[in-house]
Amino acid sequence: MENLSQNTVIESDFLKMEYDYIEYYVGMAKMVVYWHVKALGFKAVAYCGPETGYPDRCSYYIVKNDIKLVITSASQPSSYKIVSFVDLHGNGIKKISVKVNNVAESFQAALKNGGIPLQHPAILSDEHGFVEQASLKVFDDNEIVLINYDNYQGDFMPGYRNIEGDWDMSGEDSALEKIDHVACALRLNEIGLWENYFNSIFQSKTVKQFDERQKPGEKKIGILLKVLQSDNKQMNNVLVEPDHGIKSQVQLFIDQNYGAGIQHIAFCSSNIFKSVEVLRANGVKFTKYPETYYDNLAAKYPNLDVAPLRKHGVLCDVLDGALLFQIFTAPIGDRATFFYEIVQRVNNYEGFGLDNITALFEAMEIELTEKGSLVKA
């Protein structure tokens, strides 16, 4: 991976790229906020809606350490952008925002490199200052928002008022720290298109490829996966597409989502075993893995303490003495689409657990088949 990340590139905002907030469009924001607060340990900070001068929406800004989410629903039937997204895709991620130093310059640089504009640079202001933002198209109905808060002193952005006193439901700390990566499910033959789009616009690089497309005489799970990484390694986008004619969970997402989109977000945990204990006690369901996975792990790494992994249902990847712990929730909504991943990187692990992907896909397909959502070919 080091060889791929040493190419000389022009200094820009995109070399210091990090995720800022991620916005969901949902059918009923208040209920989704309640679940994130109660189940995942988020804190509701600010609200935007008809009461604050925005009649088309109800948006809640919630945070957990460095994780920032906005949960948005339509406040009236005429809010067609929100209503149409939810009707088509169900509850899901609409926007990924990236904080930049200069919105106009970053936007123009993105356009020059092939970015598709959705919103040209604009300023939102109130008595606390102003926020600059613009947005670019990605996938079927998603947006990348370029944003700058440097001149704003309010809770989030203009139109939001503080609601911390209305949502005092503090429980045991879930130990979730920041966003590790965003994973996107694409149609067959789309991965090259969006790989080039991201890497051209954001000056990221493809650092890993995992080709599990089926071939005669080989047992493979039927996907193609690529990892795109910003120069500072703080923004990681995972792109995955299904194999032709294979009924995988990637194809299931595309079917249930009615198109390409964001399949899951991974949160970094400071203590994954504590996170799993707290979240499971709060009612969060996790994907289960067969006992043979842990038996094989113990045989492959005799010095690895497999007991806590087996107890909590956590996967583990070992890379040059560094460890990646990871676990996946079941889909959080009624459709078999969006879910969360929780990871913990030990001893500066820099990989992406590609050895565990087969175990994940097989386990997810067993669970979805049992629900009747995935019919084996």
| pLDDT tens-place string over residues 108-129 | 999 999 999 999 999 999 999 9
Beta-sheet strands, E only, within 51-104: 57-64, 67-74, 92-99
The pLDDT assigned to 162 comes to 95
Report yes or no on 33 lying in a domain: yes
Sign of CA dihedral 102, 103, 106, 108: negative
Regarding whether 338 and 281 lie in a shared domain, the answer is yes
Q: Which stretches within the chain are classed as H helix?
A: 29-40, 80-89, 103-112, 191-202, 249-257, 272-281, 291-300, 307-312, 357-370
Query: Both ends of the chain: CA-CA distance in Å?
Result: 36
Report yes or no on 169 lying in a domain: no
Q: Residue 210 CA to chain centroid, in angstroms?
A: 19
Largest pairwise CA distance in the chain: 67
Residue with tokens 């497309």: 213
Regarding whether 195 and 267 lie in a shared domain, the answer is yes
Regarding whether 193 and 157 lie in a shared domain, the answer is no
| pLDDT score of 72 more than 90 | yes
The residues facing 42 across adjacent strands are: none
Report yes or no on 167 lying in a domain: no
| pLDDT score of 1 more than 50 | no
Regarding whether 242 and 124 lie in a shared domain, the answer is no
pLDDT confidence tier of residue 7, bands split at 50, 70 and 90:
very low
Regarding whether 208 and 119 lie in a shared domain, the answer is no
Regarding whether 206 and 123 lie in a shared domain, the answer is no
Residue 181 annotated as part of some ligand binding site: yes
Regarding whether 17 and 123 lie in a shared domain, the answer is yes
pLDDT confidence tier of residue 11, bands split at 50, 70 and 90:
very low
Regarding whether 67 and 102 lie in a shared domain, the answer is yes
Give residue 90's domain range.
Answer: 13-162
Report yes or no on 168 lying in a domain: no
Report yes or no on 142 lying in a domain: yes
Look at residues 162, 188, 220 and tell me which one is the last residue of a structural domain.
162
Residue with tokens 């925005």: 54
Regarding whether 132 and 89 lie in a shared domain, the answer is yes
Neighbours of 215 (CB within 10 A): 10
The predicted model gives 309-314 an average pLDDT of 95
| pLDDT score of 178 more than 90 | yes
Look at residues 102, 129, 162 and tell me which one is the last residue of a structural domain.
162
The number of domains in the chain is 2
Regarding whether 328 and 306 lie in a shared domain, the answer is yes
Residue 37's closest CA among 57, 63, 58?
63
Residue with tokens 């799970």: 221
| pLDDT score of 3 more than 60 | no
| pLDDT score of 220 more than 80 | no
Look at residues 135, 162, 189 and tell me which one is the last residue of a structural domain.
162
Residue 127 annotated as part of some ligand binding site: no
Task: Return mean pLDDT, the chain.
Answer: 88
The predicted model gives 251-261 an average pLDDT of 93
The pLDDT assigned to 286 comes to 94
Q: For 121, phi and psi rounded to 5 degrees? A: -50, 130
Does the model's pTM come out above 0.75? yes
Q: What does the buried/exposed string (b/e) look like for 237-264 if buried means 16 or more CB atoms within 10 Å of the residue's CB?
A: bbbbbbbeebbbbbbbbbebbebbbbbb
Report yes or no on 8 lying in a domain: no
Report yes or no on 5 lying in a domain: no
Regarding whether 293 and 223 lie in a shared domain, the answer is yes
We report the CATH number of the domain holding residue 110 as: 3.10.180.10
* Pairing, β 339-346 against β 261-269: parallel
d(CA 127, CA 48): 15
Report yes or no on 86 lying in a domain: yes
For 21-69, the pLDDT digits (tens) are: 999 999 999 999 999 999 999 999 999 999 999 999 999 999 999 999 9
Regarding whether 337 and 204 lie in a shared domain, the answer is yes
For 322-374, the pLDDT digits (tens) are: 899 999 999 998 888 999 999 999 988 887 776 777 766 666 566 555 554 55
